[in-house]
Amino acid sequence: MKGIWLAPLSALVLGFAMTATQAEENDEQRAEVDAPDGYLVITEEMWLPVLAQPSLTLERARESFVRRDYDEAADDIAAAAAFLRIEAERVGRPAEEELGQVADRLEDLAERVRDEDVHDLNELGSLAAETNHALAERYHELAEAAEDEGESRHAGYYLRAAAHHLEHAFAWTGHEIDEGSRDAIDAVKDGADDVARGAEWTGDEARDLFSRMGDEVDQARDDIAQYAREREAQDEERAEAEQD
């Protein structure tokens, strides 16, 4: 069984809860994967439906920031960081290091937002785009790995999550997705949804979807880097103006 450990604080921050039946199974699962006492152990099957959580919490953080509810915004940014920590712990390098570094920056941003030391959405926008892209890249890799292991349904969930996060990465940059990318992402979502619901795909169909998703993830990396440079330039201009 593939088990995922949830520290009590992470489970609380993410709002993850078990049904009574799932809670009864938790002790057996913990013993099977040798998790520390006090941790929740959930199966990969239970984890798959919440893969979209980071993008949703960052969207809520933006809404709260605009309302000047800085504590709420900070809580949501911290929740996204907690999710990335969990994902980072169950992968190997270099993805583990990349996700961990993004989580570090999210936690730092959450603290400064709570202290009302962040004055616009530029940093949140850049970091949210980077967060979503990092997850899109990771879930694309996990989809391919799941398919190689014969877990097509899991592959469908992961591929759908990759498309979801890539869409949100584009949305944070404010750049419209071009028609070719839009068609590719829609095709991936449709195919992944079908497989996640139990349909079967041929080897050629799977390879085509994985290839198209991989191409879009690679292409988006440059767009997001450009967006980050634009935001940094704006911040520098504002800082210089404040000094004058």
CA gap 48, 153 in Å, rounded: 10
- Give 72 or 176, the one with higher predicted confidence: 72
Q: Is residue 3 part of a domain?
A: no
Q: Is residue 101 part of a domain?
A: yes
Strand partners, 6: 40
Q: Is residue 220 part of a domain?
A: yes
Least confident of 131-140, 179-188, 205-214, 233-242: 233-242
Q: Tell whether the model's pLDDT for residue 15 goes beyond 70.
A: no
Q: Is residue 14 part of a domain?
A: no
Q: Could you tell me the residue range of the domain that residue 187 belongs to?
A: 48-238
Number of domains in the chain: 1
Q: 49 preceded by cis ω (within 30°)? A: no
- Give 75 or 236, the one with higher predicted confidence: 75
Q: Is residue 32 part of a domain?
A: no
- Tell me the backbone φ, ψ of residue 67, rounded to 5 degrees: -80, -5
Q: Tell whether the model's pLDDT for residue 237 goes beyond 90.
A: no
Q: What is the pLDDT of residue 61?
A: 96
Q: 94 preceded by cis ω (within 30°)? A: yes
Q: What is the pLDDT of residue 14?
A: 45
- Give 174 or 186, the one with higher predicted confidence: 186
pLDDT band of 13, cuts 50, 70, 90: very low
Q: Is residue 130 part of a domain?
A: yes
- pTM for the model: 0.76
Q: What is the pLDDT of residue 46?
A: 60
Query: 36-40, 54-58, 150-154 — which one is most confidently predicted on average?
Result: 54-58
Q: What is the pLDDT of residue 174?
A: 78
Q: Tell whether the model's pLDDT for residue 197 goes beyond 90.
A: no
In the chain, pLDDT over 70 holds for what percent of residues? 72
In angstroms, what CA-CA distances link 86 with 54, 100, 111, 240?
Answer: 11, 9, 20, 39
Q: What is the pLDDT of residue 92?
A: 61
Q: What is the pLDDT of residue 220?
A: 83
Q: Is residue 10 part of a domain?
A: no
Task: Say which residues have a Cβ less than 8 Å from residue 27's Cβ, sequence separation at least 6.
Answer: none
Q: Tell whether the model's pLDDT for residue 50 goes beyond 50.
A: yes
